[in-house]
Amino acid sequence: MSKIVVIQGRAVPVVGDDIDTDRIIPARYLKEITFSRMGQYPFYDERFHADGSKKDHPFNRPEYQGASVLLGNVNFGCGSSREHAPQSLVRWGIRAIVAESFAEIFAGNCVMLGTPALVASKEDMAKLQKLAAEKPGTVFSVDLQALEVKADGLTVKVTMPPSRRNALIEGTWDSTALLLANADAVKAKAAILPHPSAKH
Amino acid sequence: MAKGTLYNKIWDSHTVALLPTGQTQLFIGLHLVHEVTSPQAFDMLRERGLKVAYPDRTFATMDHIVPTKSQKRPFTDDQAELMMQAIERNTRDFGVNFFDFASGRQGVVHIIGPELGLTQPGMTIACGDSHTATHGAFGSLAFGIGTSQVRDVLATQCLSMDPMKVRRVEVNGTLKPGVTPKDVALFLINRLGVKGGIGYAYEYAGQVFDDMTMEGRMTVCNMAIEGGARVGYCNPDDTTFAYLKGKEHAPRGAEWDKAVARWRDIASDRGAEYDDVVKFEAAEIEPMVTWGVTPGQSVAVGDTLPDPEAISDKGEKESALLAYRHMKLSPRQKAIDIKIDVAFIGSCTNGRISDLRAAAEVVKGHKVSPGVQAFVVPGSMQVRQAAMSEGLDKVFIAAGFEWREAGCSMCLAMNPDQLKGDQISASSSNRNFIGRQGSTTGRTLLMSPAMVAAAAIAGHVVDIRTFA
Ligand code: SF4
């Protein structure tokens, strides 16, 4: 697994509280049995009219094409646990998300994809979003080691749970290998914990 | 840090190891799987040459994508048919238990776990679905997870997790007439906020929960996630044990007695310490209805809709303004004046037999209002059978409701059951997010199944206490 320490790129502001995963990716795209096309769909119904013509949405604006940092607000990614949501953002090009707060399952899903979900204060988020809105070409630097976001002379502090940060910095964010390493201890646990079915 | 709670006890007994990242490796006693969030996970196993580590602890069904009018194969929607074939192939290739139509046990994953007796106190449970918290009603820790974590549980029967804080949510006293568990759930989300539970497991306690049926407890725990809490639970008690006794997969004979003794021990200690405690009085709770686009945007049914100008928090105010624009409703209008186009009774929140009984009780002898499409979708094949053996299907059909096959249906509309245009639904499900019921301009009012039934008859939102 690659080590994820610094992410640099332009930032796209997606303003609003409680942006749920149904809005990030509508349920009809969950019918696909692979994630491969998810990059086409983030915020689909907010970006496109029924006839396919474009609505005004940050993900459609030319100045944010190729952006790699998403700037959100409160309770970003709430609702459904669908990993299709972070998958669609990551496959669109997002490498880090900074917001005022995250829904728990969504933040965990992001880390499983090697994408940090970092929290900044309301005031700092407002500054970051303002900068990205007014100077869309600005390069933002998200530093997991320093727990800072820097852009155009602005530096703000960010936080994330230490274990998730370690996993990204150390390159151990794909947890399957870590969990498999303790297979014997798991076996011992399975032997003493009751089975859910009396039929087994 | 909380101490001596059910949460602490289950967490400790299921801890396998501390991982180098600082996260805990937690053993998962029961893994529930459905068709939508699992195909990519099974493919990841194939790519890595891994097997399902504990197929006997893994149980799959299909619910989200199944049509509820006709379940004849192949499904008319090609994508749905492909998804069905994927779960059939995956459960076969990996030797996973599968409740398909032929088993007679198919249904919404959070309905069938409990009704089959697979969900038991003291367990850790995981499922690639945010409403997994439902199973916490039994005194288990039940986690909604993403697809990469489904892969982890399939491959290792474990999750890597950080511990949560525990908030005791007490509701004391007794509920007023007409107030149901769904109203308790909506009330708590309204008071504690849609993000209030982030980082917490909610322990629901107090007389209201002591008195509540298992099905009611499931309704409340189901919606813990709508308040931001990934986990919600009730401590197991005699009500829990009575529900489980005799269920298909529950322990039997001498094993049953041992299990009950173990389950009693798992409940939070009298002197348990919590990270936070909040208390409410049952008398404060009225029948509730949502008017906005988050489950927290709700009012008591007798009230008028709130004035966004009175909301001090800028983000919440913006949310309210967005909600009014989408819902095409106005501040200060009466909730009971809102007309509806569609009435949906079902989902893992309120698709169980007691929900159907409550709704049937209301519709008996009435007719669905002209112009309203009303339908009932039992949460599982077994719920459907039980309802039919009591003649509930006949009550609904006589009143003009459609009687459907089991599935998630219009809870998320990944199937043919969808709102059209800006239709407005009275819905017994759990989410009123924009686009949730299949139309980008569709609108959803969440309420109890009895209130949905009453709204179907009246053609608008009604206060169940004055409905005759
Ligand atoms: S009924 Fe609704 S909330 Fe429950 S599992 Fe199905 S889609 Fe999810």
Cross-chain Cβ contact B431/A172 below 8 Å? no
* Residue A161 binned pLDDT confidence (cut-offs 50, 70, 90): very high
**Helical pair A104-112 and B147-156, crossing angle rounded to 10 deg:** 70
Whether A184 is covered by a domain: the verdict is no
3-state helix, strand, coil in chain A (%, to 5): 40, 20, 45
Which pLDDT tens digit goes with each residue over B295-322? 999 999 999 999 999 999 999 999 999 9
Give dist(CA B373, CA B282) in Å, integer.
34
Q: What is the pLDDT of residue B142?
A: 98
Residue B71: exposed, middle, or buried by beta-carbon count in 10 A (0-12, 13-18, 19+)?
Answer: middle
Which pLDDT tens digit goes with each residue over B245-268? 999 999 999 999 999 999 999 999
Whether A183 is covered by a domain: the verdict is no
Q: Which of B429, B432, B437, B446 to mutate to test the pocket of ligand 1 (most atoms within 8 A of CB)?
A: B429
Sign of the four-CA dihedral B401, B405, B411, B412: negative
Closest C-alpha to B348, from B392, B412, B292 = B412
| pLDDT above 90 (res B16) | yes
Give dist(CA B249, CA B256) in Å, integer.
11
Average pLDDT over residues A5-24: 97
* Residue B379 binned pLDDT confidence (cut-offs 50, 70, 90): very high
Q: Give the number of other CB atoms < 10 A from CB of residue A136.
A: 17
Measure B396 CA to ligand 1 centroid, in angstroms.
22
Measure A3 CA to ligand 1 centroid, in angstroms.
36
Report the number of distinct structural domains present in chain A. Answer: 1
Average pLDDT over residues B60-71: 96
Q: What is the pLDDT of residue A30?
A: 96
Give dist(CA B407, CA B460) in Å, integer.
26
Q: What is the pLDDT of residue A117?
A: 98
DSSP character string of A129-164: HHHHHH-TTPEEEEETTTTEEEETTEEEE-B--HHH
Q: What percent of chain A has pLDDT over 70?
A: 100
Closest C-alpha to B297, from B282, B308, B313 = B308
Give dist(CA A143, CA B363) in Å, integer.
60
| pLDDT above 80 (res B349) | yes
Domain harbouring A75, CATH code: 3.20.19.10
Q: What is the pLDDT of residue A1?
A: 77
Cross-chain Cβ contact B40/A35 below 8 Å? yes
Cross-chain Cβ contact A186/B251 below 8 Å? no
Domain of A165 in residue numbering reads as: 6-171
Whether A15 is covered by a domain: the verdict is yes
Q: What's B460's DSSP letter? A: B
* Residue A199 binned pLDDT confidence (cut-offs 50, 70, 90): confident
| pLDDT above 90 (res B93) | yes
Which pLDDT tens digit goes with each residue over B211-250? 999 999 999 999 999 999 999 999 999 999 999 999 999 9
Give dist(CA B78, CA B254) in Å, integer.
49
Count CA atoms closer than 13 A to B14's CA, side-chain side: 29
From the alpha carbon of B431, which atom of ligand 1 is closest?
Answer: 3
- Which pairs count as long-range contacts for B241-244, CB under 8 Å and 24+ apart, including other chains? B243/B114, B243/B214, B244/B117, B244/B120, B244/B138
B149 interface with A at CB cutoff 8 Å: yes
Closest C-alpha to B268, from B6, B7, B14, B8 = B6
Question: Is B6 within 8 Å of B235 (Cβ atoms)?
Answer: yes
ipTM entry: 0.95
The residues, ordered by sequence, that sit 6+ positions from B67 with a Cβ below 8 Å of its Cβ are B75, B76, B77, B80, B405, B407, B415, B416, B417
Q: What percent of chain B has pLDDT over 90?
A: 99
Cross-chain Cβ contact A176/B152 below 8 Å? yes
Buried/exposed B414-434: b ≥16 CB within 10 Å, e otherwise = bbbbbbeeebbbbbbbbbbbb
Which pLDDT tens digit goes with each residue over B105-117? 999 999 999 999 9
| pLDDT above 80 (res A12) | yes
B408 lines ligand 1 (CB under 6 A): yes
Task: Report the alpha-carbon angle B417-B419-B422, nearest 5.
Answer: 175
Q: Which of B109, B131, B405, B418 to mutate to test the pocket of ligand 1 (most atoms within 8 A of CB)?
A: B131
Smallest CA–CA distance, residue A91 to chain B, in Å, is: 15
**Ramachandran sector of residue B377 (left: φ over 0; alpha: ψ -120 to 50; beta: rest):** beta
Whether A23 is covered by a domain: the verdict is yes
Which pLDDT tens digit goes with each residue over A79-107? 999 999 999 999 999 999 999 999 999 99
Question: Is B124 within 8 Å of B27 (Cβ atoms)?
Answer: yes
Whether A182 is covered by a domain: the verdict is no
Whether A195 is covered by a domain: the verdict is no
- Given the DSSP bridges, would you call strands B402-403 and B424-427 parallel, antiparallel or unpaired? unpaired
Q: Which of B38, B83, B132, B348 to mutate to test the pocket of ligand 1 (most atoms within 8 A of CB)?
A: B348
Question: Is A105 within 8 Å of A75 (Cβ atoms)?
Answer: no
| Residue B246, CA distances (Å) to A90, B32, B253, B258, B361 in order | 47, 21, 10, 15, 28
Q: What's A100's DSSP letter? A: S
Q: What is the pLDDT of residue B1?
A: 87
Nearest Cα residue in chain A from B225 = A79
* Residue B25 binned pLDDT confidence (cut-offs 50, 70, 90): very high
Q: Where are the beta strands (DSSP E) in B271-397?
A: 276-281, 288-290, 298-300, 342-345, 373-376
Whether A180 is covered by a domain: the verdict is no
Question: Is A112 within 8 Å of B149 (Cβ atoms)?
Answer: yes
B34 lines ligand 1 (CB under 6 A): no
Smallest CA–CA distance, residue B268 to chain A, in Å, is: 19
3-state helix, strand, coil in chain B (%, to 5): 40, 20, 40
Cis peptide before B449 (omega within 30 of 0): no
Cross-chain Cβ contact A199/B294 below 8 Å? no
Residues of chain B found within 8 Å of residue A194, distances taken between Cβ atoms: 29, 120, 122-123, 251, 259, 262
Domains of chain B plus CATH, in order, are 19-161 (3.30.499.10), 288-466 (3.30.499.10)
Six-digit token pair at B70?
Answer: 């006709």
Which pLDDT tens digit goes with each residue over B415-447? 999 999 999 999 999 999 999 999 999 999 999
Instruction: List, in sequence order, the alpha helices (H) in B287-380.
Output: 314-327, 347-350, 353-363
| pLDDT above 90 (res A62) | yes
Closest C-alpha to A25, from A91, A108, A82 = A82
Question: Is B164 within 8 Å of B142 (Cβ atoms)?
Answer: no
**B65: three-class secondary structure by DSSP:** coil
Give dist(CA B111, CA B130) in Å, integer.
14
More confident residue, A199 or B111: B111
- Residue among B57, B252, B435 whose CB faces A23 most closely: B435
The residues, ordered by sequence, that sit 6+ positions from B331 with a Cβ below 8 Å of its Cβ are B304, B305, B306, B307, B308, B309, B324
Sign of the four-CA dihedral B387, B390, B394, B396: negative
* Residue A14 binned pLDDT confidence (cut-offs 50, 70, 90): very high
Whether A194 is covered by a domain: the verdict is no
Q: Which helix H or strand E contains B181, and what residues bound it?
A: helix B181-192
A191 interface with B at CB cutoff 8 Å: no
* Residue B124 binned pLDDT confidence (cut-offs 50, 70, 90): very high
Which pLDDT tens digit goes with each residue over A101-154? 999 999 999 999 999 999 999 999 999 999 999 999 999 999 999 999 999 999
A91 interface with B at CB cutoff 8 Å: no
Q: How many residues does chain A have?
A: 200
From the alpha carbon of B63, which atom of ligand 1 is closest?
Answer: 6
* Residue B122 binned pLDDT confidence (cut-offs 50, 70, 90): very high
